[in-house]
Amino acid sequence: YAEDGSRLWLRYTAVDDHTARQRTINLQHSDAITQLAKKELDSYWRGPSVSMHVDRKAAHLKEGYQIKAEKGRIEICAAAPVGLLYGAYHLLRLQHTGADVHSLNVEEIPSYDIRMLNHWDNLDRTVERGYAGYSLWRWNELPGKLSPRYEQYARANASIGINATVLNNVNASPEILTLDYILKVKALADIFRKYGIRVYLSANFSSPKVLGGLVDADPMRKEVKDWWKNKVNEIYRHIPDFGGFLVKANSEGQPGPQDYGRTHADGANMLADALRPHGGTVMWRAFVYNPTQEDRAKQAFQEFVPLDGDFRDNVIIQIKNGPIDFQPREPFTPLFGAMRRTPQMVEFQITQEYLGFSNHLVYLAPLFKETLDADTYCSGAGSTVARVTDGSIWRQKKTAIAAVANIGEDRNWTGHDFAQANWYAYGRLAWNHQLSASAIAEEWIMQTFTDSSGFVKPVRQMMMDSREAAVNYMMPLGLHHIFAFNHHYGPEPWGDIQGGRPDWMPWYYHNADTAGIGFDRTTNGSNAVSQYNEPLRSVFNDRQTCPENLLLWFHHVPWDHQMKNGRTLWAELCNRYDLGVQTVREFQKVWDRLEPFVDKSRFEHVQSKLKIQTKDAVWWRDACLLYFQTFSQLPIPYELERPI
């Protein structure tokens, strides 16, 4: 292999004949998925003999598995063939992370039924907010020619338990639902099926009008309902295990049921009814906001909570982790837990739209965990976002989790070698939201690079510090959305466009003036705090109790406000920005010392990306501080680096 990062975390080396003769891999089934599980173990497993069987009575395992190692033999048991495949990958993961495989007693049950990637891939192969090259899907060649990367993609996903993929952008082209494209999608679905992955599509709500020539797409009209039913039936004729639709409606200019005076529930239910006979699901997004007088952070809650109970049971409301838009740090969206009779799911963003694209090393598992572990208090203490969405607080027919993929055609799939860790970590948390960010980082490093502790420890630490570093050099203390307009790379807190949408202007979010800085979302301000349950509402509402890492999210704070460490707000802001810069300077040193452990190509790749990251961090710090200083009129503390 020329080292180019293309093998991801799947660096298993084939066993030699001698090793292979020492053990057997037995199975009692001959379906394609079980065969694949056997093939993976036949090729790469160095441990004791393994036997695999499906026990239909073990339904509680869902897609999970049990692994028992006794008397020199390993048994994998699952309720479905795909569980055996996941069990096989579990063994290989243990092998490559140096675990003892001779005494195992493992039971793994996935946290969510549907563990999904959302590709924001357009049909012209550009990727919205994608930073790893063009789309993997070569629509112009499909269905005739099949890139080997389709199968590699499926294998990588199966190895971490991802079982669903939405192939096209949420800003969906209606064309994806033409027969031409359905046949292309079928070709991909046929490859993915063997890896336990179901295909979903983003649907454009206007499709009946655009494709079907109907006068409108009103979800209450029979012709429109019939059009969708027929379309869905057509899809299932070609793709019998089609998963369903993801829909962005009445959001950022996309069409939707409100165009006809109907509700989100009317729109979602029409699609749900068409999918129901086939067992399909609708993921209906709650990412809705308009340029009104109302705080953008409040709008999803306001629109969706009144519809609680109106949705069919095969609809799941897909909610971004934070109320604005995948910022470096946001509180969780208060809609989680606010709809007791409506299934909800989290949407994360793996692609780093707001985190330095594929140039910055930012390990996202701590961000994912922060949301999943956040307590909504919707049903008393301990009602975390994880538990609100995994069916353990309120029963739901199917549970799900989604994240916007960072995958493209680049040789290393994700642009930055370390961005592979974010794909990996998302999959592992979708499988088990109780895993720790640090443990996931460690197993990823050992599989992707080396298990030498001289490498694993410093790299794990760097990864674990990286998200907070980015928060610090971009927008510390609860600042948000002060990005350069539109492309979102780099700072532009001064950005303003005459006549532009106010809710797309940075000043809307930071509100800096001579008195202070921050968005007043307290009861005296937009009152977004009222959407949170007690005790959060009071905690966030009071400047003294509000967590300082969200202070400027909820409060407009005077420059001379005293922080817990005794500094003024201004001094602490300067300190945070500078700390972010110093942390990534340190990452450069850490990485340089690790040169002996890494192949030249990946070493240099990461080294050069860290240079960009450090330059960008300085740019962020200097730009933001010099701009905010025009309001604070205060000096940058002497002990910090001078702006350049």
Residue spans of beta strands (DSSP E) within 109-224: 114-118, 164-166, 198-202
Closest to ligand GCU by CB, 259 or 325: 325
CA-CA distance, 423 to 8, in Å (whole number)?
10
Closest to ligand GCU by CB, 318 or 522: 318
Write b or e for each residue in 140-169: b if 16 or more Cβ atoms lie within 10 A of its Cβ, otherwise e. Answer: eebbeeebebbebbbbbbbbbbbbbbbbbb
Closest to ligand GCU by CB, 279 or 502: 502
Q: Which of 325, 330, 442, 468 is catalytic?
A: 325
Sole binder of ligand GCU in the list 25, 36, 170, 247 (CB under 6 A): 170
- How many residues sit close enough to ligand GCU to count as binding (CB under 6 A)? 9
Angle of CA points 156, 373, 491, to nearest 5°: 75
Specify the amino acid at residue 273. D
Sole binder of ligand GCU in the list 4, 128, 175, 599 (CB under 6 A): 128
Per DSSP, 157 falls in state H
Is 310 a binding residue for ligand GCU by CB under 6 A? The answer is no
Q: How far is the CB of 129 from ligand GCU (least distance, A)?
A: 5
Q: How far is the CB of 324 from ligand GCU (least distance, A)?
A: 9
Closest to ligand GCU by CB, 42 or 128: 128
Q: How far is the CB of 355 from ligand GCU (least distance, A)?
A: 13
Q: How far is the CB of 246 from ligand GCU (least distance, A)?
A: 10
Q: How far is the CB of 259 from ligand GCU (least distance, A)?
A: 17
Sole binder of ligand GCU in the list 35, 95, 152, 171 (CB under 6 A): 171
578 is catalytic: no
For 247-277, give the secondary structure using H, E and C: ECCCCCCCCCHHHHCCCHHHHHHHHHHHHHH
Closest to ligand GCU by CB, 118 or 583: 118
Number of Cβ within 10 Å of residue 455's Cβ equals: 18
CA-CA distance, 174 to 602, in Å (whole number)?
40
Contact criterion met (CB below 8 Å) for 475 and 509 = no
CA-CA distance, 49 to 41, in Å (whole number)?
10
Contact criterion met (CB below 8 Å) for 26 and 49 = yes
Contact criterion met (CB below 8 Å) for 612 and 494 = no
Is 330 a binding residue for ligand GCU by CB under 6 A? The answer is no
Is 129 a binding residue for ligand GCU by CB under 6 A? The answer is yes
Token duo for residue 288: 């809705």
Is 567 a binding residue for ligand GCU by CB under 6 A? The answer is no
Q: Which of 252, 560, 592, 604 is catalytic?
A: 252
Closest to ligand GCU by CB, 128 or 273: 128
Applying the rule CB under 6 A, the residues between 333 and 362 that interact with ligand GCU are 353
CA-CA distance, 268 to 169, in Å (whole number)?
18
Residue 81 CB partners (closer than 8 Å, separation 6+): 29, 31, 33, 34, 37, 54, 196
Angle of CA points 450, 452, 458, to nearest 5°: 95
Q: How far is the CB of 307 from ligand GCU (least distance, A)?
A: 19
Q: How far is the CB of 252 from ligand GCU (least distance, A)?
A: 6
Strands 73-78 and 65-70: antiparallel
Q: How far is the CB of 131 from ligand GCU (least distance, A)?
A: 13
Closest to ligand GCU by CB, 186 or 298: 298
Sole binder of ligand GCU in the list 218, 325, 390, 520 (CB under 6 A): 325
Applying the rule CB under 6 A, the residues between 272 and 301 that interact with ligand GCU are 287
Q: Residue 559 CA to chain centroid, in angstroms?
A: 35
Q: In sequence order, what DSSP letters do the residues of 356-407 get, joined into one string?
A: TTTTS----HHHHHHHHT-B--BTBTT-BHHHHHTTSSS--S--EEEEE---
Helices (H), 194-263: 207-210, 222-238
Closest to ligand GCU by CB, 402 or 569: 402
Closest to ligand GCU by CB, 291 or 635: 291
Contact criterion met (CB below 8 Å) for 368 and 342 = no
CA-CA distance, 333 to 236, in Å (whole number)?
35
Is 248 a binding residue for ligand GCU by CB under 6 A? The answer is yes
353 is catalytic: yes
Strand order from edge to edge, sheet including 25-27: 25-27, 49-54, 73-78, 65-70, 105-108
Closest to ligand GCU by CB, 248 or 329: 248
To which residue do tokens 């809650």 refer? 301
What x/- string results for residues 102 through 121 when contact with ligand GCU is judged by CB under 6 A? Answer: --------------------
Q: How far is the CB of 319 from ligand GCU (least distance, A)?
A: 11
Q: How far is the CB of 303 from ligand GCU (least distance, A)?
A: 15
CA-CA distance, 362 to 46, in Å (whole number)?
34
Closest to ligand GCU by CB, 170 or 571: 170
Q: How far is the CB of 405 from ligand GCU (least distance, A)?
A: 13
Task: Give me the long-range contacts of 633-639 (CB less than 8 A, separation at least 24).
Answer: 633/514, 634/559, 634/568, 634/570, 636/574, 637/571, 637/574, 637/575
Instruction: Tell which residue, 321, 270, 315, has the closest CA to residue 297.
Output: 321
Q: Which of 113, 218, 353, 410 is catalytic?
A: 353
Contact criterion met (CB below 8 Å) for 624 and 574 = no
252 is catalytic: yes
Number of Cβ within 10 Å of residue 55's Cβ equals: 13
Q: Catalytic positions, please?
A: 252, 325, 353
- Where do contacts with ligand GCU occur on this chain (CB under 6 A)? 128-129, 170-171, 248, 252, 287, 325, 353
